[in-house]
C-alpha cells in the first residue's frame, strides 16, 4: 500500500514502473493529503492506472463527536477490518490517538481492545492513515500541519507490532511528511521488555509510557497476563536503559480500580519502586467497559492519591478523561464489527 512507503521508497517504486523519479513526490504529496488517485491532477493517467492496485482505500464506518469536543472515528480498511482512532483537542494543539493492531492479544482484564483477541497487525501506512485522516479533517496538509502530537494508545500493543510501528514512527516524523517531532509522540506499552531495549537501541526517542497499574508482580498478574512474562523489576531496568539512551523521562500509567490497586499500601509501594527515577505517574480512574465488572475510582479519590504520591516525592497527575460518552477514553477502543455503534 502506497502509504507504507517513504518518499525514497516511492522513488524506487515509480522507477520500477518505468516512470520518472520526480513523479514520486507528486504521488507522495497526493497520497499523504489522502486524495483519491483521480484527484491528483498533476499525474498522468497512464501512471495512475499502474498505481491503482497499490493505492490506499478506506471508508469512514462511524464518526462520533463527544460533548467535550473529542472525536472518534472508526475506519474500515481495505480488507474490511475496522480500527478506531481518537482526536483530542487542547489549547496548544491536536493529539491523535492511533491504534496499532486490529484487536490485541495482551488480555488485560480491564480493557475493551482485547475482548476479541488479536485479528492482525496494522501496517505502517494504516497507522499513518489515522493521523492523516484527522489532519485532513482539521483542514491541514503537509505544509500546514494541524496535528501536533501523536499517542500510540489506541487498540493494540505497539511493541507487539514492532517493525510496523517503528516504520510508522519514521514516516510520521519524516521531514517531507507530517514532520512531527519524536518528543511529541508517546508510545504506551504494557511492558514488552526486549522491545523496549530495541526501541532505545534503534534510536527512537519518543516518550515511553508504561502501563504499570500495580506496584507488585502478584497484583499485576491478576489484571495483566503479561506480568507472567516480565517482572516489574525487569521493566524498570529497561526503563532506566531507555532513559540513559534518550534522556526522556518515563511516564507510568496507573489506572485506578476501586478496591484493587487504590489502597494506601499500594500507593506507598508504588512510590517506593519509582523513587529516585526520572519519571511521572499518570493516574487514570478506570473507565467503564460494559463487558467488565471492574469499577473506577472517583476523580476526587484520584486527586487524593496524586497528592499522596507528590508528598512521597513522585511527580503525579490525574489524566483528563476525554471522550467517555463516545467510548473514546482509555481502554474503551475496540474494533467494532462493521464499525457499528
Q: With respect to ligand SAH, which residue has the nearer C-beta, 32 or 113?
A: 113
Which residues, other chains included, contact 183 with Cβ-Cβ below 8 Å and sequence gap of 6+?
205, 206, 207, 248
Residue, CB closest to ligand SAH: 331
Q: With respect to ligand SAH, which residue has the nearer C-beta, 47 or 239?
A: 239
To ligand SAH, the closest distance from the beta carbon of 155 in angstroms equals: 8
Residue 87: in which H helix or E strand, if any? strand 82-90
- CA separation for the pair 193, 79 (Å, rounded): 32
To ligand SAH, the closest distance from the beta carbon of 211 in angstroms equals: 3
Q: Where along the sequence are the contacts to ligand SAH (CB under 6 A)? A: 106, 108, 110-111, 153, 157, 188-190, 211, 253, 255, 284, 286-287, 289, 330-331
To ligand SAH, the closest distance from the beta carbon of 303 in angstroms equals: 16
Q: With respect to ligand SAH, which residue has the nearer C-beta, 110 or 133?
A: 110
User: 253 and 213 in contact (C-beta within 8 Å)?
Assistant: yes
Q: With respect to ligand SAH, which residue has the nearer C-beta, 188 or 261?
A: 188
- In this structure, the number of other CB atoms found within 10 A of the CB of residue 226 comes to 21
CA nearest neighbour of 3 among 71, 77, 60, 73: 77
83 backbone dihedrals φ, ψ, rounded to 5°: -125, 145
Which residues, other chains included, contact 5 with Cβ-Cβ below 8 Å and sequence gap of 6+?
13, 125
Residue 84 is a catalytic residue: yes
- In this structure, the number of other CB atoms found within 10 A of the CB of residue 311 comes to 11
Cell of 103: 484487536
To ligand SAH, the closest distance from the beta carbon of 162 in angstroms equals: 13
Residue 279 is a catalytic residue: no
Residue 282: in which H helix or E strand, if any? strand 279-285
Q: With respect to ligand SAH, which residue has the nearer C-beta, 71 or 261?
A: 261
Q: Which of 84, 126, 157, 253 is catalytic?
A: 84
- CA separation for the pair 239, 124 (Å, rounded): 25
- In this structure, the number of other CB atoms found within 10 A of the CB of residue 162 comes to 18
To ligand SAH, the closest distance from the beta carbon of 329 in angstroms equals: 7
Q: Judging by beta carbons within 10 Å of its beta carbon (0-12, 13-18, 19+), is residue 319 exposed, middle or buried?
A: middle
Q: With respect to ligand SAH, which residue has the nearer C-beta, 284 or 322?
A: 284
To ligand SAH, the closest distance from the beta carbon of 157 in angstroms equals: 4
279-285 vs 147-152, strand pairing mode:
unpaired
Q: With respect to ligand SAH, which residue has the nearer C-beta, 14 or 111?
A: 111
Q: Which of 97, 104, 279, 330 is catalytic?
A: 330
To ligand SAH, the closest distance from the beta carbon of 314 in angstroms equals: 17
CA nearest neighbour of 254 among 308, 285, 213: 213
Catalytic positions, please? 84, 330
Amino acid at each position: 500500500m502506497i502509504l507504507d512507503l517513504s518518499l525514497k521508497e516511492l522513488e524506487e517504486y515509480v522507477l520500477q514502473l518505468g516512470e520518472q523519479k520526480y513523479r514520486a513526490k507528486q504521488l507522495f504529496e497526493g497520497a499523504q493529503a489522502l486524495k483519491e488517485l483521480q484527484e491528483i491532477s498533476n499525474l498522468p493517467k497512464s501512471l495512475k492506472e499502474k498505481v491503482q492496485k497499490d493505492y490506499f482505500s478506506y471508508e469512514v464506518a462511524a464518526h462520533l463527536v463527544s460533548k467535550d469536543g473529542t472525536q472518534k472515528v472508526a475506519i474500515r480498511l481495505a480488507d474490511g477490518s475496522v480500527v478506531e482512532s481518537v482526536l483530542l483537542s487542547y489549547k496548544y494543539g491536536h493529539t491523535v490517538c492511533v491504534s496499532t493492531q486490529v484487536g490485541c492479544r495482551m488480555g488485560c482484564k480491564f480493557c475493551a481492545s482485547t475482548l476479541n483477541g488479536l485479528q492482525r497487525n496494522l501496517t505502517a501506512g494504516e497507522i499513518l492513515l489515522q493521523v492523516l485522516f484527522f489532519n485532513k479533517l482539521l483542514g491541514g496538509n503537509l505544509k500546514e500541519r494541524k496535528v501536533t502530537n501523536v499517542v500510540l494508545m489506541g487498540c493494540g500493543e505497539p511493541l507487539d507490532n514492532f517493525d510496523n510501528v517503528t516504520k510508522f514512527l519514521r514516516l510520521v516524523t519524516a521531514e517531507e511528511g507530517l514532520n512531527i517531532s519524536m518528543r511529541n509522540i508517546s508510545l504506551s506499552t504494557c511492558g514488552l521488555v526486549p522491545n523496549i531495549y530495541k526501541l532505545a537501541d534503534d534510536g527512537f526517542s519518543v516518550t515511553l509510557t508504561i502501563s504499570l497499574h500495580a506496584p507488585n508482580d502478584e497484583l499485576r498478574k491478576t489484571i495483566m497476563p503479561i506480568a507472567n512474562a516480565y517482572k516489574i523489576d525487569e521493566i524498570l531496568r529497561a526503563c532506566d536503559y531507555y532513559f540513559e539512551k534518550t534522556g526522556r523521562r518515563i511516564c507510568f500509567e496507573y489506572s485506578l480500580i476501586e478496591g484493587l490497586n487504590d489502597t494506601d499500601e499500594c500507593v506507598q509501594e508504588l512510590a517506593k519502586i519509582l523513587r529516585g527515577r526520572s519519571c511521572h505517574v499518570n493516574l487514570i480512574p478506570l473507565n467503564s467497559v460494559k463487558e467488565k465488572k471492574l469499577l473506577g475510582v472517583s476523580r476526587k479519590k484520584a486527586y487524593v492519591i496524586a497528592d499522596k504520591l507528590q508528598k512521597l516525592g513522585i511527580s503525579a497527575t490525574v489524566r483528563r478523561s476525554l471522550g467517555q460518552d463516545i467510548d473514546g477514553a482509555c481502554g474503551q477502543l475496540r474494533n467494532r464489527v462493521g464499525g457499528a455503534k
